[in-house]
Amino acid sequence: MALDQSFVGRTYPPTPAYEVGREKIREFAESIGDRTPAYRDPEAAKSLGYADVIAPPTFPIVISMPAADQVVYDPALGLDWARVVHGDQRFTHERPMGPGDRVVAVVVVESIKSFAGNDMITLVTEMSTEDGELISTARALLVARGGTETEEQQA
């Protein structure tokens, strides 16, 4: 079933602040097998001009994905979340995240489309400090795969 177009442009409330921690960055870097010193050694990060260790480029997904859940599980929107797959992902960084950043995410529904029985929704999530400094923007296409058989069964 096509999603309600009136959700386009809707802004969801800011998430509670997520505080980026040094050990979380290290854990994330370990999980992707990345030994880059600037992710775990403050001195290595300082030699690159940063105040402290920095997070890898895809680290903000730790914040943007739970933020997007507000939309995915919004009963008013009615996205078939059990059929949702990740279509594409973009990150635009003003700077890398680092320890002590208290990050607030605001999700906006950028577009809703239907194609070949699939619902496609694009979410833009701006991640800023509590003081309002934009750090990273995540743009994700989520696709709810059409399930004609299932819909017929349900009907």
Partner 1 sequence: MISAQTSAERFAVGTVLPAASFPITRTDLVRYAGASGDFNEIHWNGRFAVEVGLPDVIAHGMYTMAVAGRVLTDWVGDPGAVEEYFVRFSKPVVVPDDGVGALVEVSGKVTKVLDERRVQVDLTVTSSGQKVLGKATAVVRSS
Choose, by CB under 8 A, the member of 6, 11, 73, 85 that binds partner 1.
Answer: 85
Residue among 3 and 39 whose Cβ is closer to partner 1: 39
95 versus 102: smaller Cβ distance to partner 1: 95
* CA 18/CA 21 separation, integer angstroms: 9
- For partner 1, which stretch binds (CB under 8 A), given 70-78, 80-88, 113-121, 123-131? 80-88
Q: Taking CB under 8 A as the criterion, which residues in 114-133 touch partner 1?
A: none
Binds partner 1 by CB under 8 A, chosen from 88, 130, 133, 151: 88
Give whichever of 38 and 127 is closer to partner 1, judged by the CB atom: 38
Q: Are 118 and 144 in contact (CB under 8 A)?
A: yes
Helices marked H in the chain — which ranges?
22-31, 42-47, 61-72, 148-154
Cα separation, 141 vs 4, whole angstroms: 17
The CA distances from residue 54 to 125, 137, 148, in Å, are 20, 17, 46
Stretch that binds partner 1, among 3-11, 35-43, 103-111, 113-121 (CB under 8 A): 35-43
